Structure 1
Amino acid sequence: MIEVKTEIKKYLKYCSLEKKLSKHTLKAYRIDLAQFIAFKPDISISKEDLTKYIQYLHKTYKPKTIKRKIATLKAFVHYLYYKDIIEFNPFDKIDTTFKEPLHLPHTIPENIIHQLLTASYQNILTAATTHQKLVSVRNTAIIELLFATGARISEICSLKINNIDFASKTVRIFGKGAKERILQIENRDVIAILMKYLILIDDSTQPNSYLFQNNRHNRISEQSVRTIIRNLEKQIAAPLHITPHMFRHSVATLLLEEDVDIRYIQRILGHSSITTTQIYTLVTSSKQREILRTKHPRNKIHITQ
């Protein structure tokens, strides 16, 4: 019988050194697997124990969280089988499929995005000190890049200075699983604010430094970006709560509404599967229904019978 706790430590080390997974992914794996061994003192990698744990997850968590935790456990068990630590994979005999409720992505209306950007640029003009100006320019550059690229918040926070190429007007983004994609920046305002920010931080001699830094010149955190957006949200008295990921949803949806082929959107967002991108077609279908309900001229024609 294997020592599950010991094998988890080895697995996390393998994920870090050999698979080169991000700190964010490793943290999620660590939490999920620690929860697995905490479920039962003598937990084993058996069909019975795995089934009981999955049943527990279904009673305790929402579908999206359940799906992630099962995926983490599956990856760990596959590693054990791959390394010949277990003789067979018990997940081959466990049906883990289940139907998730459909939740349409939340987007930001274009007029609200316009207000956010306007307020952010206004903060630069009203900055009273050099430090306030630097922070305002940095914050504006973050908002511009979120909307220009549709990148995940973790991808934006992890950008290095040398990931921006002004000659080709491109940004090199490293997504999930260290997958790389290069996106063109075709808006002059976005290029201009990035150049302005780099001049202000004067860190061009250290191209491997993080692009967006906090007051201690360390990588800005995802939570700090959420706070930046929340402050802008309050500043414009936005009628909805705005999250960084909503910029990603908005980019995809607005591009679809402009008849951009879904496969181009898949590449822009860095989705490994077109199925993930197709959720946005449901958003545009919902928008189409609203347009036909409220804007179609037939609805203005009333027939007396």
Structure 2
Amino acid sequence: MGRRAGSARPDATPPPPELAEPVARFIEHLASERRQSPTTCRNYQRDLLRLASHLTDRQWSWAGLDSHGLRGYVAELSRQGLGGRSIARHLSSIRRFYDYLVREALVTDNPALGVRAPKAARRLPGVVDVDQLNDLLEPPPDDDPLTVRDRAMFELLYSSGLRVSELAGVNLGDIDLKQGEIRVVGKGDKQRLLPVGRKAREALATWLNLRTGLAREGEPAMFVSQRGGRLSVRSIQLRLERWGKHQGAAQRLYPHLLRHSFASHLLESSGDLRAVQELLGHADISTTQVYTHLDFQHLAKVYDQSHPRAQRRPRTDPEG
């Protein structure tokens, strides 16, 4: 049986009434006056009862918790395995609860105002191996118009590192196949001009020969659905996932995976972070720097596999 919703950890000390009752009144305030959802109320209750149990163990009151004591609690949450995002949520619950206690004149200040959660570990984006991508983007044997369209979309995603919203928004006039260029509108309505590779140009040219049989008259979108209108972001996501399954991909394919792969492979070959930033349309280079970590992971893997003294061999003599 799972833990009861809204309760503290199963090994926690139950808080006494002087700690539990203000939490109950606060949850009632959230539900009745603030119209918060039952799920939100349960999350607040769970977080606050966990802190109340911590205070009970130390024989502290709500008024007795200061910023120093709260930092100690944050450190304890981290030792218990909570990540930065979860701790930030706990602090948000505590901060709002103490705002309520101050208004109710139960405490004089809010100890959570100056306390920050540890930074959440940044998840590295996934990447598809170059050889695997080459296999995945090989043209299928059938010449069904939707299959031809899909390959053109996915070639363009990988060739130019587009966001899926940018791909869905591409119009016929945005691409110059002769010059090998595409103009896209990114975040903040910022335009950028990007190169289009040979394979993508070939796939797009094949698709354009078939597009007229599907597109409604006057439709400006480059990629259209069976009904003749612009293909939606969701449809592109579903078609790529389906393509990956059909082609025997080792992992689930999604548009951002091709964008990540574009950036990582380009950085791996060129080492030019600024150029990759411009191509991706990142306003801040710190956003692009995540790919340097990916590049280092690749280098470290090659080193471990290749260097004669890199690999650690297991010790056969436990006494040695």
CA contact (8 A) 2:160 2:197 kept: no
**What is the letter of the counterpart of residue 277 of structure 2?**
Q
CA distance in 2, matches of 1:301, 1:97: 39
**What is the letter of the counterpart of residue 190 of structure 2?**
K
Alignment partner, residue 126 of structure 1: 142
Deviation at 1:266, TM superposition (A): 0.2
Deviation at 1:230, TM superposition (A): 1.7
**What is the letter of the counterpart of residue 101 of structure 1?**
A
The SS at the match of 1:168 is: coil
Alignment partner, residue 15 of structure 2: none
Alignment partner, residue 295 of structure 1: 306
Deviation at 1:249, TM superposition (A): 0.7
Alignment partner, residue 160 of structure 1: 171
Alignment partner, residue 268 of structure 1: 279
**Structure 1 unaligned blocks of 5 or more:** 1-37, 44-51, 71-93, 128-132
CA distance in 2, matches of 1:96, 1:112: 46
Deviation at 1:237, TM superposition (A): 2.3
Higher helix share: 1
Alignment partner, residue 200 of structure 2: 190
- Name the larger-Rg structure: 2
Deviation at 1:111, TM superposition (A): 2.3
CA distance in 1, matches of 2:221, 2:190: 18
Alignment partner, residue 60 of structure 2: none
Deviation at 1:212, TM superposition (A): 0.6
Matched, 1:282 2:298: no
Select which of 221, 225, 230 maps to 1:210: 221
CA distance in 2, matches of 1:257, 1:110: 11
Matched, 1:247 2:276: no
Deviation at 1:236, TM superposition (A): 2.7
**What is the letter of the counterpart of residue 200 of structure 1?**
L
Deviations, residues 256-296 of structure 1 (Å, cap 9, x unaligned): 11133100000000000000000110111111211111111
- Give me the TM-score of the superposition, normalised by structure 1: 0.62
* Residues 216 and 115 of structure 1, relative CA distance in 2, 3 Å threshold: same
Alignment partner, residue 100 of structure 2: none
Matched, 1:113 2:133: yes
CA contact (8 A) 2:277 2:285 kept: yes
* Residues 202 and 275 of structure 1, relative CA distance in 2, 3 Å threshold: same
Deviations, residues 62-97 of structure 1 (Å, cap 9, x unaligned): 949x89xx9xxxxxxxxxxxxxxxxxxxxxxx7796
* Residues 254 and 270 of structure 1, relative CA distance in 2, 3 Å threshold: same
Matched, 1:100 2:120: yes
**Bigger relative CO (Cα 8 Å, ≥ 6 apart):** 1
CA distance in 1, matches of 2:302, 2:210: 45
The SS at the match of 1:183 is: strand
**Structure 2 unaligned blocks of 5 or more:** 1-29, 48-82, 93-112, 314-319
The SS at the match of 1:106 is: coil
Deviation at 1:185, TM superposition (A): 1.5
CA contact (8 A) 1:161 1:207 kept: no
CA distance in 1, matches of 2:217, 2:274: 36
CA distance in 2, matches of 1:108, 1:97: 36
The SS at the match of 1:239 is: coil
CA contact (8 A) 1:162 1:208 kept: no
Identity across matched positions, percent: 27
CA contact (8 A) 1:146 1:244 kept: yes
CA distance in 2, matches of 1:171, 1:255: 18
Q: CA RMSD in A?
A: 3.6
CA distance in 2, matches of 1:95, 1:215: 56
* Residues 103 and 212 of structure 1, relative CA distance in 2, 3 Å threshold: same
The SS at the match of 2:137 is: helix
Deviation at 1:215, TM superposition (A): 1.1
Alignment partner, residue 18 of structure 1: none
The SS at the match of 1:242 is: coil
Alignment partner, residue 174 of structure 1: 185
**What is the letter of the counterpart of residue 272 of structure 1?**
A
CA contact (8 A) 1:169 1:191 kept: yes
